[in-house]
Amino acid sequence: MASQAPSALVLGIESSCDEMAAAVVREGREICSSVVSSQVEVHSPYGGVVPELASRDHARVVSQVAEQALDEAGVKLSDLAGIAVTAGPGLVGSLLVGLSFAKALAYRAELPLVAVHHLAGHLAAAELSEPTLIAPYMGLVVSGGHTALYRVEEEGPPRLLGETRDDAVGEAFDKVAKLLGLGFPGGPAVSAAAQSGNPTAVDFPRPMSRKAGLDFSFSGLKTAVALEVQRRGGQEALGESGIADVAASFEAAAVDSLVVRSRRALKSENLDRLAVVGGVAANRVLRERLEDEGRKLQFEVIFPPPSLCTDNAVMIAAAGSRALARGERDGWSVSAFSRVPVGETPWRGGAE
């Protein structure tokens, strides 16, 4: 592949879970278009994402989503400097749809292809939304599949400081929503119910809060909610006010866990900037609590706008733009990985 000028347009493709997305970004900073095809209606009957249904729906819409992103940006394939695509982590079937399409498109248009780590994309979303955010800073990634703290450096990959030992916080929200009969996706459903509830009604545990280190755990909290619902006689016996109280109490416990660990990480790493990314970064209570802590302890908190918190292709295009500018390229043998640490690129095989 011929090297392209990095100071141009990059098409991003994201399909790591249940949303098919495409976006065009200029110079790694300017959003020219962003298209997201949601699968909420596909998965709602099941209370969670069904991997096979997700990949099937991705295959159905990937071409039109990419075409729409180009159309809305007012550009042609020949205007692009390259194509960026998520290679992992995520659902392998879903990832392969986006990867296969991106490889075919790049081959057809004779464009450079670069594979992007999904979490590196989320961190890029923070820098994209806040131009003054310059490394080093702390990154808190909170989503349906990930809960982790990273030290982000100017050079080199982000360094993992702590992560969940079991469920991700977004997954816990989804499971609690199902226990309370609140529907899917769970994060917004639990938050909506919690607004009319009492966050101190149930004294749920704050897992790992008394243990040293920066790891998280949410399986015990999820189990505590299940036991409380059972103790009260189930969803119907709880009623609307009981569901609201349980939802608010769970949300308070989950947010406490995130805030305590984030505060500890900032202190241990001597940093004063925290970027919060991923779907759960859109949570109102988490935003309020961290902003309040930031005012008290004098650290800055950066949240991308809600549209850049959930899975999107803008973040992949932005991260891909920077990778292309560094001269990174991937060949046609690049494949998907369900689990891969940030900074590792097992798919990298060089340009072909």
Closest CA to 195 of 325, 319, 285: 285
Q: Are residues 170 and 314 in the same domain?
A: no
Q: Are residues 140 and 265 in the same domain?
A: yes
Q: Is residue 346 part of a domain?
A: no
User: Strand, coil or helix: what is 21?
Assistant: strand
pLDDT, tens only, 143-191:
988 899 999 988 777 899 999 999 999 999 999 999 999 988 899 999 9
Q: What is the mean pLDDT of residues 254-280?
A: 96
Q: In the predicted model, what is the mean pLDDT of the chain?
A: 91
Q: Is residue 159 part of a domain?
A: yes
Residue 2 has pLDDT above 80, yes or no: no
Q: Is residue 298 part of a domain?
A: yes
pLDDT at 183: 87
Q: Are residues 94 and 199 in the same domain?
A: no
Q: Is residue 70 part of a domain?
A: yes
Q: What is the mean pLDDT of residues 96-101?
A: 96
Q: Are residues 168 and 265 in the same domain?
A: yes
User: HSE-up of 261 (CA within 13 Å, CB side)?
Assistant: 31
pLDDT at 348: 66
Q: Are residues 291 and 151 in the same domain?
A: yes
Q: Is residue 350 part of a domain?
A: no
Closest CA to 13 of 31, 35, 30: 35
Residue 183 sits in a domain whose CATH number is: 3.30.420.40
Residue 4 has pLDDT above 60, yes or no: no
Residue 6 has pLDDT above 60, yes or no: no
pLDDT, tens only, 316-342:
999 999 899 889 999 998 888 888 777
Q: Are residues 190 and 256 in the same domain?
A: yes
pLDDT, tens only, 115-137:
999 988 999 899 888 888 888 99
Q: Are residues 272 and 156 in the same domain?
A: yes
Q: Are residues 154 and 39 in the same domain?
A: no
Q: Is residue 186 part of a domain?
A: yes
Q: Is residue 65 part of a domain?
A: yes
Residue 7 has pLDDT above 70, yes or no: no
Q: Are residues 278 and 313 in the same domain?
A: no
Question: What single DSSP character describes residue 218?
Answer: -
Confidence of residue 59 (pLDDT cuts 50, 70, 90): very high
Residue 39 has pLDDT above 90, yes or no: no
Q: What's the whole-model pTM score?
A: 0.86
pLDDT at 300: 96
Q: Is residue 3 part of a domain?
A: no
Domains held by the chain: number? 2
Q: Which domain holds residue 247?
A: 135-303
User: Strand, coil or helix: what is 12?
Assistant: strand
Q: Are residues 107 and 180 in the same domain?
A: no
Q: Are residues 232 and 210 in the same domain?
A: yes
Q: Are residues 90 and 170 in the same domain?
A: no
